[in-house]
């Protein structure tokens, strides 16, 4: 907020090296009002800081801000009532002069010397607190000396972060934010606009080097790369070869953003060279020391290259109206050539705040809250503790210090404005502390680009989503882009490697996330499942119908010739084999997987054994009985059919148990079928036991085929060679087809093929063996009579006799 115009009430004696005002408690002010050129001497000399030295209006205006603050406090009825403050203002035109002024402020009260005591708890110096000095170079020396005596020192412009180290500078405080905060503000500013390819320049002093190193250290932990880092040499002019080489290197790095962390003295010749070499299209991010300095924006031609200059500037300064009033009232200030600029105004507020911080600390120490202050001895260390605890508002600005003695204040982000004939600046954002946060109003920024958007400064364009960075040089910001392959994804926390998805997940190429795989199995509700379930159910209903039909016609020749009671065992075994197909539907379970092979194999084996037994008996009756009549009688007498079927079934049971014991069929998740799917299936390793089960079934099928084929010339009523041969041939073909297509189909397709093959086998055998007999029973009853069968036997016997 702008200060009252009286803040800049100037005195007529502008050229005075120092001024004094007595009071109950005295402050010392260190201001550089002259700039004394260094002189060669055998020993350090204290410069006179007289009229022969170059006058500095900036330091003079700051000294007047201190005078005004003291006078305002002395005239206050609430702050330090019945107590007056005095001041000693010293001109620190050089380091020796600054040291001399510091020692004068430390001189014992009422004396002229600095007394050395065993302890300074009872030491009373001439000044209870020191305001200043301005530069980091001078503040380091004074802070080290004053820290020994614990005399409070509040600087208004020294921003070096090292001064916050309390073990070295225990009594140092400041009303300007630390460079540590400025570095954070610049860092957040670069991140805000996505500038990842930048150059860093700093002045060749503690301010520039420390700020540069702190910023570089912070950038190395982020995604911002420093393309070039250089130092601006001191005491050089625009003809310096070093400066021209520095600018040439800066141009060769091809960056669009350059951070200049420099003081005003070094920044001016640098920008003069920048103008000479016509460096355009650059965004200049400046530190607070030079960004609003008149000596910089008055560089001839700087508007041609600085259209985008922006910087953090310490907030809380005074406005233009106050500056104008200062000029109008300074009628006797003949050496004050120009009005104080914005930089003077803001620094003046820092001085004003420092004086008020001392006043509030003294107010608390003297117990002035009751309305009357107790004027007692004030030791510097006591006042230091109170100043550290102050917390008050000054023109809507909160004044308080953290544990390091730094003021809890942020920055205004300003941008140079050359839209009008004269120079100006716009506040485009703010940086606030505790917590650190940057706010930028993009609408206030008049970017001078073709699309009026913020310029870019990157070494490589950002990769497309799902593309990792392949670093091409030592700079991580310079890279090529490579698509992440399928099965991997790009995590935004690591842009340089593709991470594999978990086994339950998948990802397409160029993905930034993994997705859950779709579980695939032959569910009950799928159309293909219904296409298989309906025939299965119809086949089982047909088997039940045939069983009923054969039971109703059990005494007829057709049923007896088909095997009699054995027909029901055959139909039951086919029904059990058909029921095993239900184990292939739904999500596989351990029970379903264990039942698939044994239930089908054992049931199918029973059917084949029954077919083989019946075929053997027919062959024995018509062909072997005449030659070996005792063979058939022994077969019947010793219950050969039952024993044969039981033994053959027991053998298959043993093989199935061995197969499940050695390589059990268990639920398995197959991730190799497709990237986006996981197949749930019953599987087991191929073992000798499982192969033996299949081989045994094939062997029985071949035996049945041979026996049925041996009876191809039997009477028609007993001749089933054609139907059984076709049925068994179809069964073997289906088994071969399933075996051959196992590699072509995966997942639900393979299961569907397996179920379809089993259905075809069961349907063929049922149709080849039982349907012809059912046809006779239902549609040819005249053929289902003993007379017809007797005539067929006689015809067969006659044909054999004739042969």
pLDDT value for 318? 28
Asked whether residue 482 falls in the same domain as residue 578, the answer is no
Closest-CA residue to 433 (of 316, 347, 317): 316
Question: Are residues 759 and 637 part of one domain?
Answer: yes
User: What is the residue-averaged pLDDT of the chain?
Assistant: 82
Flag whether 657 is in a domain: yes
Q: Token pair of 652, please?
A: 């298959």
Higher pLDDT, 750 or 77: 77
Structural domain total, the chain: 3
Read off the pLDDT of residues 51-90 as tens digits, 9 standing for 90 and up: 656 788 888 889 999 999 999 999 999 999 999 999 999 9
From the list 59, 144, 70, the residue with the least C-alpha distance to 103 is 144
Query: Which helix or strand (DSSP H or E) is residue 73 part of?
Result: helix 57-74
Q: Tell whether 512 and 587 lie within a shared domain.
A: no
CA 193 to chain CA centroid, Å, is: 19
* Res. 637: pLDDT tops 90: no
799 pLDDT more than 70: no
Q: Are residues 397 and 484 in the same domain?
A: no
Residue 685: which CATH number? 1.20.1070.10
Alpha-carbon gap, residue 13 to 335, rounded angstroms: 10
**Same structural domain for residues 493 and 580?**
no
565-to-453, 477, 555, 571, 621 alpha-carbon distances in Å: 94, 87, 10, 10, 18
Distance (Å, whole) CA 470 – CA 479: 5
Report the DSSP beta bridge partners of residue 102: none
**pLDDT bracket for residue 11 (50, 70, 90):** very low
DSSP-assigned beta bridge partners for residue 682: 667
Place of tokens 């690591």: 494
Are 472 and 333 in a shared domain? no
Quick: pLDDT tens for 110-137.
767 777 777 778 888 989 999 989 888 8
Within-domain flag for 423: no
**Are 792 and 707 found together in one domain?**
yes
Q: Give buried/exposed letters for 49-82 (b at 16+ CB in 10 A, else e).
A: beeebebbbbbbbbbbbbbbbbbbbbeeeebbee
> Percent of the chain having pLDDT more than 90?
35
What pLDDT is attached to residue 42? Answer: 57
Domain membership of residue 433 (yes or no) is no
pLDDT of residue 485 exceeding 50: yes
* Cα gap 409→178, rounded to integer Å: 9
* pLDDT surpassing 70 at residue 626: no
Same domain, yes or no: 473 and 401: no
Given 408, 423, 441, which residue is the final one in a domain? 408
Residue predicted with more confidence, 322 or 452: 452
d(CA 563, CA 724): 14
Structure-model confidence comparison of residues 738 and 337, the more confident one: 738
Measure the CA–CA gap between 542 and 536, rounded to whole angstroms.
10
CB contact set of 494 (below 8 Å; sequence gap of 6+): none
Cα dihedral 157/160/165/166 (nearest 10): -10
Q: Is residue 288 part of a domain?
A: no
Q: Is residue 200 part of a domain?
A: no
Q: What is the DSSP string of 330-392?
A: -TT-TT--S---HHHHHHHHHHHHHHHHHHHHHHHHTTGGGSS-------HHHHHHHHHT-EE
Per residue in 236-285, pLDDT (tens digit) is 888 899 999 999 999 998 899 999 999 888 999 999 999 999 998 889 99
pLDDT value at position 331? 31
Q: Is the pLDDT of residue 10 over 50?
A: no
Residue 186 located in a structural domain: no
Q: What is the CATH number of the domain that holds 382?
A: 3.40.50.2300
Looking at 408, 424, 440, the residue that finishes a domain is: 408
pLDDT category of residue 738 using cuts at 50, 70 and 90: confident
Q: Which of 375, 408, 441 is a domain's end point? A: 408
Residues 551, 667 within the same domain: yes
Kindly tell me if the per-residue pLDDT of 338 is higher than 60: no
Looking at the predicted structure, is the pLDDT value of residue 106 above 80?
Answer: yes
What's the confidence (pLDDT) of residue 526? 87
The answer on pLDDT for 554 being more than 70 is yes
pLDDT at 336: 34
Domain that holds residue 473: 467-516
User: Do 531 and 505 share a structural domain?
Assistant: no
Clarify whether residues 718 and 781 are in a common domain. Answer: yes
User: Does a structural domain hold residue 630?
Assistant: yes
In a shared domain, residues 639 and 726: yes
Bridge partners, residue 730, by sequence: none
Question: pTM for this structure?
Answer: 0.65
Question: What does the alpha-carbon distance between residue 139 and residue 98 come to, in Å, rounded to a whole number?
Answer: 9
pLDDT of residue 624: 58
Give a yes or no: residue 698 inside a domain.
yes
Residue scoring higher pLDDT (447 or 261): 261
What is the model's pLDDT at position 686?
Answer: 61
Instruction: Report the chain's terminal Cα–Cα distance, integer Å.
Output: 133
pLDDT at 326 over 70: no
């Amino acid at each position: 907020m702008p200060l009252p115009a009286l803040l800049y009430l100037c005195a007529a004696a502008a050229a005075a090296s120092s001024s004094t005002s007595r009071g109950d408690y005295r402050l010392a002010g260190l201001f550089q009002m002259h700039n004394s050129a260094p002189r060669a001497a055998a020993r350090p000399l204290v410069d006179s800081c007289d009229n022969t030295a170059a006058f500095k209006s900036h330091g003079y205006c700051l000294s007047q801000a201190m005078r005004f603050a003291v006078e305002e406090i002395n005239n206050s009825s609430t702050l330090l009532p019945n107590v007056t403050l005095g001041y000693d203002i010293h001109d620190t035109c050089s380091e020796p002069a600054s040291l001399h002024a510091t020692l004068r402020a430390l001189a014992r009260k009422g004396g002229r010397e600095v007394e050395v005591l065993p302890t300074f708890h009872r030491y009373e110096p001439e000044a209870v607190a020191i305001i200043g000095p301005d530069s980091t170079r001078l503040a380091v020396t004074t802070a080290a000396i004053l820290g020994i005596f614990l005399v409070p020192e509040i600087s208004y412009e020294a921003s070096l972060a090292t001064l916050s180290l309390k073990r070295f500078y225990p009594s140092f405080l400041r009303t300007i934010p630390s460079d540590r905060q400025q570095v954070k503000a610049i860092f957040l500013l670069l991140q805000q606009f996505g500038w990842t390819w930048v150059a860093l320049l700093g002045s060749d002093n503690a301010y520039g080097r420390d700020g540069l190193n702190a910023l570089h250290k912070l950038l190395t932990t982020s995604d911002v790369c420093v393309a070039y880092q250089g130092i601006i040499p001191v005491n050089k002019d625009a003809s310096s070869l070093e400066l021209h080489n520095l600018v040439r290197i800066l141009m060769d790095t091809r960056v669009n953003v350059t951070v200049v962390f420099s003081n005003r003295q070094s920044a001016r010749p640098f920008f003069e060279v920048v103008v000479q070499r016509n460096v355009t299209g650059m965004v200049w991010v400046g530190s607070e020391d030079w960004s609003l300095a008149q000596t910089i924006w008055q560089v001839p031609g700087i508007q041609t290259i600085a259209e985008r200059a922006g910087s953090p500037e310490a907030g809380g300064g005074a406005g233009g109206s106050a500056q104008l009033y200062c000029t109008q009232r300074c009628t006797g200030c003949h050496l004050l050539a120009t009005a104080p600029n914005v930089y003077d105004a803001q620094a003046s507020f820092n001085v004003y705040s420092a004086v008020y911080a001392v006043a509030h600390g003294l107010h608390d120490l003297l117990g002035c809250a009751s309305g009357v202050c107790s004027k007692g001895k004030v030791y510097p260390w006591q006042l230091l503790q109170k100043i550290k605890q102050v917390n008050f508002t000054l023109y809507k600005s909160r004044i308080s210090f953290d544990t390091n003695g730094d003021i809890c204040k942020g920055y205004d982000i300003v941008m140079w404005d050359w839209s009008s004939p004269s120079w100006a600046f716009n506040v485009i954002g703010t940086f606030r502390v505790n917590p650190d946060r940057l706010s930028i109003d993009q609408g206030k920024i008049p970017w001078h680009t073709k699309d009026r958007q913020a310029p870019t400064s990157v070494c490589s364009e950002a990769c497309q989503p799902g593309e990792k960075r392949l670093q091409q040089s030592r700079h991580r910001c310079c890279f090529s882009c490579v698509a992440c392959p399928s099965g991997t994804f790009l995590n935004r926390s690591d842009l340089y490697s593709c991470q594999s998805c978990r086994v339950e997940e998948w990802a397409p190429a160029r993905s930034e996330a993994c997705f859950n795989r779709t579980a695939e199995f032959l569910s009950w509700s799928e159309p293909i499942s219904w296409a298989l379930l309906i025939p299965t159910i119809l086949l089982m209903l047909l088997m039940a119908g045939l069983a009923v039909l054969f039971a109703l016609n059990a005494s007829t020749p057709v049923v007896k010739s088909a095997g009699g009671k054995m027909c029901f065992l055959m139909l039951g075994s086919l029904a059990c084999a058909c029921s095993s197909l239900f184990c292939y539907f739904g999500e596989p379970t351990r029970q379903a997987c264990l039942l698939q092979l044994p239930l089908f194999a054992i049931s199918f084996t029973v059917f084949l054994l029954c077919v083989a037994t019946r075929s053997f008996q027919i062959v024995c009756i018509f062909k072997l009985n005449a030659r070996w009549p005792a063979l058939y009688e022994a077969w019947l007498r010793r219950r050969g059919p039952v024993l044969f079927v039981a033994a053959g079934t027991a053998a298959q049971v043993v093989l199935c148990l061995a197969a499940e014991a050695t390589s059990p069929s268990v639920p398995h998740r197959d991730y190799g079928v497709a990237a986006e799917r996981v197949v749930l299936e019953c599987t087991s390793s191929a073992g000798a036991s499982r192969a033996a089960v299949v081989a045994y079934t094939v062997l029985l099928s071949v035996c049945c085929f041979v026996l049925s084929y041996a009876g191809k010339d039997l009477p028609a009523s007993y001749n089933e060679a054609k139907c059984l041969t076709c049925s068994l041939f179809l069964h073997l073909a289906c088994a071969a087809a399933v075996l051959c297509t196992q590699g072509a189909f995966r997942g639900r397709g393979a299961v569907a093929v397996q179920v379809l093959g089993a259905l075809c086998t069961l349907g063929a055998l049922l149709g080849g063996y039982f349907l012809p007999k059912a046809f006779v029973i239902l549609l040819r009853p005249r053929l289902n009579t003993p007379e017809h069968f007797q005539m067929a036997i006689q015809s067969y016997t006659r044909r054999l006799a004739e042969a």
